Homo-oligomer: A and B are copies of this chain.
């Protein structure tokens, strides 16, 4: 048997090391081929206790002693075998889905380079690529300033936290040293359909969830600007200090776009920081046909934009963009002498670490850079336009069917399409509480069956007064019309006897 200690750098055996890594790659290539084969199962479902107890020799427990390289390869195969193929054409479960081959190549290279974003010193190429991509993104947003600022963060929730953090610092710079005790009772605003990370951030930042004021939405899930202004005035009357509005561009469930211009007007009038959570919707800026849906984003003070969602970049890849240059660093810098020495041989403006709330920071930029090189802006545009077309197609098909009911009887705003499946027996129950209770149980049952059979994955949730409904999402480049048709057939097959 061979062991890790037979590989580089323990032993100088280049050939064996290469052989081992190529064996791993062979496992990965087989997985990739299966991923894109619509006939393969998306997953081979097992319960947590089954996995933890060990399946067919796949033992998750760790020992004091090494396992052979042969066993390591078997473990790699098993890990993929019992996992979920998130790139499968019928994986519709999350806003992030799909497996881009260029992005994947980018991640493999990033892993091999294994460096850290805090200084130019140890990541000269990657920090330069970050500077270039951030600039590209400011331009696409439409900020007229010669210079803006930003950083890639470990996800949309952290990016939203950055937005609120910088907003607070801009209005109350004393927060950094003195803490919340030096501030009035600050409050922020987000729509009732906004992402829950805003509340998480308020809890973390010491603002408190009660000081996140939820603004009412219209029937399509968009923030109502008049309600926002009413809430701002009410807060002021109570002696609270409004400082920030989080507008949503592409809400998680409905895919709604808040009216950014009208919100910007309220923000300007009341001198509030405007943050746009475009984690999901940001990619639409690359589509000349649909970017109008984010019109007004150029008036934002900060924007969250996750290329790992609509743009299909592998996880994680999220940017926080700040219109005013310098704020991010002023807010976060602590000038750790051991990392950010001023007496280096290069221009230390490129050491971006002190802008971050992190110290070490994973390289998330290369896969995005490489995908942009390979596709060009036009390639992203084409892909995104196709998702929008698929969403319209799906909507039209469902509209024609009497065993499906759409949550909104209008064309989808984005690639989210929300709907119920109605089993035949529900037709005999008159509309009312009992029918709603029964309908609430349908989506979980269909999902459970599809999961057990591994045929498709799609999410469901209740929302407000709406009982459990499915949320279809198009963000998977492998998905074709036939997969959409299949999903509908599958739901009818499973659901008809429920």
Q: A3-B374, A49-B347, A102-B4 are in contact. Are A175 and B203 (CB under 8 A)?
A: yes
Chain B residues with Cβ below 8 Å from A182 are 208
> A112 vs B77: C-alpha distance in the bound complex, in angstroms?
12
Could you list 9 further interchain pairs (A-B, Cβ under 8 angstroms) beyond the known A94-B116, A341-B468? Answer: A21-B105, A27-B109, A31-B112, A51-B128, A67-B376, A80-B113, A94-B122, A99-B114, A154-B154
Q: A76-B105, A109-B79, A345-B451 are in contact. Are A338 and B124 (CB under 8 A)?
A: no
Q: Give the top 6 A-B pairs by smallest Cβ distance, nearest first.
A: A206-B206, A179-B208, A180-B180, A107-B111, A154-B154, A9-B478
Listed by A's residue number, 27 A-B pairs whose Cβ atoms lie within 8 Å are A3-B374, A4-B371, A12-B36, A24-B108, A48-B124, A63-B373, A63-B377, A64-B376, A72-B105, A72-B370, A72-B373, A83-B123, A93-B122, A104-B114, A154-B154, A154-B158, A175-B203, A176-B208, A177-B203, A178-B208, A180-B206, A181-B181, A181-B208, A196-B334, A337-B462, A344-B444, A345-B444
Q: Does A32 contact B (CB under 8 A)?
A: yes
Task: Tell me if B177 and A180 are in contact (CB < 8 A).
Answer: no
Q: Does A75 contact B (CB under 8 A)?
A: yes
Q: A76-B370, A468-B343 are in contact. Are A104 and B115 (CB under 8 A)?
A: no
Task: For chain A, residues 28 to 43, give those with C-beta under 8 angstroms from any C-beta of chain B.
Answer: 28-29, 31-33, 36, 43
Chain B residues with Cβ below 8 Å from A28 are 108-109, 112
Q: Kindly specify which of A228-236, A352-360, A392-400 makes contact with the partner chain.
A: A352-360
> A404 vs B419: C-alpha distance in the bound complex, in angstroms?
73
Task: Tell me if A370 and B132 are in contact (CB < 8 A).
Answer: no
Residue in A25, A61, A461 with the greatest tally of chain B CB atoms within 10 Å: A25
Q: A360-B156, A477-B9 are in contact. Are A205 and B205 (CB under 8 A)?
A: yes
Task: Tell me if B18 and A29 are in contact (CB < 8 A).
Answer: yes
Chain B residues with Cβ below 8 Å from A360 are 96, 155-157, 308, 315-316
Chain B residues with Cβ below 8 Å from A350 are 48
Q: Does A429 contact B (CB under 8 A)?
A: no
> A341 vs B459: C-alpha distance in the bound complex, in angstroms?
10
Q: Does A290 contact B (CB under 8 A)?
A: no
Task: Tell me if B132 and A315 are in contact (CB < 8 A).
Answer: no
Q: Does A217 contact B (CB under 8 A)?
A: no
Q: Which of B24, B207, B336 contacts A196 (CB 8 A)?
A: B336
> A387 vs B196: C-alpha distance in the bound complex, in angstroms?
45
**Chain multiplicity (copies):** 2
Q: Does A471 contact B (CB under 8 A)?
A: yes
> A373 vs B210: C-alpha distance in the bound complex, in angstroms?
46
Task: Tell me if B24 and A120 are in contact (CB < 8 A).
Answer: no
Chain B residues with Cβ below 8 Å from A410 are none
Task: Tell me if B79 and A125 are in contact (CB < 8 A).
Answer: yes
Task: Tell me if A452 and B345 are in contact (CB < 8 A).
Answer: yes
Task: Tell me if A211 and B337 are in contact (CB < 8 A).
Answer: no
Closest chain B residue, CB of each to CB of A360: B155
Task: Tell me if B120 and A48 are in contact (CB < 8 A).
Answer: yes
Measured CB to CB, the closest approach of chain B to A327, in angstroms, equals 14
> A69 vs B47: C-alpha distance in the bound complex, in angstroms?
42
Q: Does A428 contact B (CB under 8 A)?
A: no
Closest chain B residue, CB of each to CB of A347: B48
Task: Tell me if B448 and A125 are in contact (CB < 8 A).
Answer: no
Chain B residues with Cβ below 8 Å from A21 are 25, 29, 32, 101, 104-105
Q: Does A220 contact B (CB under 8 A)?
A: no
Task: Tell me if A338 and B471 are in contact (CB < 8 A).
Answer: yes
Task: Tell me if B357 and A204 are in contact (CB < 8 A).
Answer: yes
Complex interface bits, A327-339 against B, C-beta within 8 A gives 1, otherwise 0 = 0000110101111
Task: Tell me if A334 and B200 are in contact (CB < 8 A).
Answer: yes
Q: Which of B27, B112, B120, B376 contacts A65 (CB 8 A)?
A: B376
